[in-house]
Amino acid sequence: MASGRHLMVDGSNIAHAWPELRTMLARSRPAAHARLERALSTIHDHEGVRVTLVFDGSGKELELRCPGASQTFSVVRTPTGMTADAFIEGWVGRSVPASNCWVATGDTAEGRTIEGLGAHWISPDDLAAWVRRTEAMMGSSLAGRIYANDRNWKRRP
Protein backbone atom coordinates (compact mmCIF):
# COMPACT_ATOMS: atom_id res chain seq x y z
CA MET A 1 0.00 0.00 0.00
CA ALA A 2 1.38 3.37 -0.93
CA SER A 3 -0.33 5.08 2.00
CA GLY A 4 0.86 4.44 5.54
CA ARG A 5 -2.58 5.29 6.87
CA HIS A 6 -4.74 2.78 8.68
CA LEU A 7 -8.48 3.42 9.01
CA MET A 8 -10.12 1.51 11.85
CA VAL A 9 -13.91 1.61 12.00
CA ASP A 10 -16.18 0.76 14.93
CA GLY A 11 -18.66 -1.04 12.70
CA SER A 12 -21.69 -1.19 14.98
CA ASN A 13 -21.28 2.42 16.02
CA ILE A 14 -21.11 3.66 12.43
CA ALA A 15 -23.97 1.38 11.32
CA HIS A 16 -26.20 2.96 13.98
CA ALA A 17 -25.02 6.49 13.13
CA TRP A 18 -25.60 6.41 9.35
CA PRO A 19 -29.34 6.74 8.60
CA GLU A 20 -29.26 4.36 5.60
CA LEU A 21 -27.55 1.64 7.61
CA ARG A 22 -29.68 2.22 10.71
CA THR A 23 -32.77 1.53 8.57
CA MET A 24 -31.14 -1.59 7.11
CA LEU A 25 -30.23 -2.87 10.58
CA ALA A 26 -33.91 -3.16 11.45
CA ARG A 27 -34.40 -5.56 8.53
CA SER A 28 -31.07 -7.32 8.15
CA ARG A 29 -27.94 -6.80 10.23
CA PRO A 30 -25.77 -8.79 7.75
CA ALA A 31 -27.00 -6.61 4.84
CA ALA A 32 -26.18 -3.42 6.76
CA HIS A 33 -22.72 -4.74 7.62
CA ALA A 34 -22.12 -5.74 3.98
CA ARG A 35 -23.16 -2.26 2.81
CA LEU A 36 -20.70 -0.67 5.24
CA GLU A 37 -17.98 -3.01 3.96
CA ARG A 38 -18.68 -1.93 0.36
CA ALA A 39 -18.60 1.75 1.33
CA LEU A 40 -15.24 1.37 3.07
CA SER A 41 -13.80 -0.63 0.17
CA THR A 42 -13.85 2.54 -1.94
CA ILE A 43 -11.43 4.21 0.49
CA HIS A 44 -9.24 1.11 0.54
CA ASP A 45 -9.23 0.55 -3.20
CA HIS A 46 -8.96 4.13 -4.43
CA GLU A 47 -6.74 5.72 -1.79
CA GLY A 48 -4.62 2.77 -0.74
CA VAL A 49 -5.61 3.10 2.91
CA ARG A 50 -5.46 -0.01 5.08
CA VAL A 51 -8.97 -0.61 6.47
CA THR A 52 -10.00 -2.64 9.50
CA LEU A 53 -13.72 -2.87 10.19
CA VAL A 54 -14.35 -4.06 13.76
CA PHE A 55 -17.60 -5.46 15.16
CA ASP A 56 -18.45 -6.68 18.64
CA GLY A 57 -18.67 -10.43 18.35
CA SER A 58 -20.08 -13.26 20.37
CA GLY A 59 -17.81 -16.19 19.68
CA LYS A 60 -15.07 -17.83 21.70
CA GLU A 61 -12.28 -16.50 19.51
CA LEU A 62 -11.46 -13.42 17.52
CA GLU A 63 -12.64 -13.81 13.93
CA LEU A 64 -10.73 -12.19 11.08
CA ARG A 65 -11.52 -12.30 7.40
CA CYS A 66 -10.26 -10.42 4.38
CA PRO A 67 -13.21 -9.96 2.00
CA GLY A 68 -11.09 -9.34 -1.09
CA ALA A 69 -7.78 -10.51 -2.44
CA SER A 70 -5.90 -7.98 -0.31
CA GLN A 71 -4.95 -8.54 3.30
CA THR A 72 -5.01 -4.78 3.84
CA PHE A 73 -8.81 -4.80 4.13
CA SER A 74 -10.04 -6.86 7.04
CA VAL A 75 -13.21 -7.43 9.01
CA VAL A 76 -12.77 -8.37 12.65
CA ARG A 77 -15.33 -9.75 15.09
CA THR A 78 -14.17 -9.65 18.67
CA PRO A 79 -14.72 -12.60 21.00
CA THR A 80 -17.26 -12.48 23.80
CA GLY A 81 -15.92 -10.27 26.56
CA MET A 82 -13.94 -7.97 24.25
CA THR A 83 -15.54 -4.90 22.74
CA ALA A 84 -14.67 -3.36 19.40
CA ASP A 85 -13.47 -0.33 21.39
CA ALA A 86 -11.01 -2.47 23.38
CA PHE A 87 -9.68 -4.10 20.20
CA ILE A 88 -9.23 -0.73 18.49
CA GLU A 89 -7.56 0.85 21.54
CA GLY A 90 -5.17 -2.09 21.81
CA TRP A 91 -4.25 -1.89 18.14
CA VAL A 92 -3.73 1.88 18.21
CA GLY A 93 -1.70 1.58 21.42
CA ARG A 94 0.71 -0.82 19.69
CA SER A 95 0.90 1.10 16.41
CA VAL A 96 4.12 2.89 15.58
CA PRO A 97 3.45 5.65 14.90
CA ALA A 98 -0.10 5.90 16.25
CA SER A 99 -0.52 9.05 14.16
CA ASN A 100 -0.92 6.78 11.09
CA CYS A 101 -4.20 5.47 12.56
CA TRP A 102 -7.58 7.05 11.89
CA VAL A 103 -10.47 5.75 13.99
CA ALA A 104 -14.09 6.29 12.98
CA THR A 105 -16.59 6.24 15.83
CA GLY A 106 -19.41 8.37 17.12
CA ASP A 107 -18.50 7.54 20.72
CA THR A 108 -17.02 10.75 22.17
CA ALA A 109 -15.29 9.01 25.08
CA GLU A 110 -13.69 6.50 22.69
CA GLY A 111 -12.67 9.31 20.36
CA ARG A 112 -10.90 11.15 23.17
CA THR A 113 -9.16 7.95 24.24
CA ILE A 114 -7.97 7.40 20.67
CA GLU A 115 -6.67 10.96 20.43
CA GLY A 116 -4.91 10.49 23.78
CA LEU A 117 -3.10 7.51 22.28
CA GLY A 118 -1.89 9.72 19.41
CA ALA A 119 -4.28 8.61 16.66
CA HIS A 120 -6.87 10.63 14.76
CA TRP A 121 -10.57 10.46 15.58
CA ILE A 122 -13.14 11.01 12.83
CA SER A 123 -16.88 11.24 13.29
CA PRO A 124 -19.48 9.16 11.45
CA ASP A 125 -20.37 12.23 9.37
CA ASP A 126 -16.73 12.81 8.44
CA LEU A 127 -16.38 9.15 7.45
CA ALA A 128 -19.51 9.38 5.29
CA ALA A 129 -18.10 12.50 3.60
CA TRP A 130 -14.80 10.68 2.97
CA VAL A 131 -16.67 7.78 1.36
CA ARG A 132 -18.70 10.18 -0.84
CA ARG A 133 -15.55 12.04 -1.97
CA THR A 134 -13.81 8.78 -2.79
CA GLU A 135 -16.83 7.44 -4.69
CA ALA A 136 -16.96 10.69 -6.69
CA MET A 137 -13.23 10.46 -7.49
CA MET A 138 -13.63 6.84 -8.56
CA GLY A 139 -16.57 7.76 -10.80
CA SER A 140 -14.61 10.61 -12.36
CA SER A 141 -11.60 8.37 -12.90
CA LEU A 142 -13.75 5.68 -14.50
CA ALA A 143 -15.46 8.22 -16.78
CA GLY A 144 -12.03 9.44 -17.91
CA ARG A 145 -10.91 5.90 -18.71
CA ILE A 146 -14.08 5.19 -20.68
CA TYR A 147 -13.60 8.41 -22.67
CA ALA A 148 -9.95 7.55 -23.41
CA ASN A 149 -10.86 4.00 -24.42
CA ASP A 150 -13.60 5.29 -26.74
CA ARG A 151 -11.17 7.71 -28.39
CA ASN A 152 -8.56 4.99 -28.86
CA TRP A 153 -11.16 2.59 -30.24
CA LYS A 154 -12.40 5.12 -32.80
CA ARG A 155 -8.85 5.77 -34.05
CA ARG A 156 -8.25 2.15 -34.96
CA PRO A 157 -8.48 1.36 -38.66
CATH topology for 6-155 is Rossmann fold (3.40.50)
pLDDT tens-digit readout, 97-139: 999 999 999 999 999 999 999 999 999 999 999 999 998 887 6
The yes-or-no verdict on residue 56 having pLDDT over 90 is yes
**pTM score, whole prediction:** 0.85
Domain boundaries along the sequence of the chain = 6-155
Q: Is 48 left (phi over 0), alpha (psi -120 to 50) or beta?
A: left
Residue percentage of the chain with pLDDT more than 70: 86
CB proximity list for 105: less than 8 A, separation 6 or greater: 9, 10, 13, 14, 85, 88, 111, 114, 121, 124
Of residues 82 and 150, which shows the higher confidence score? 82
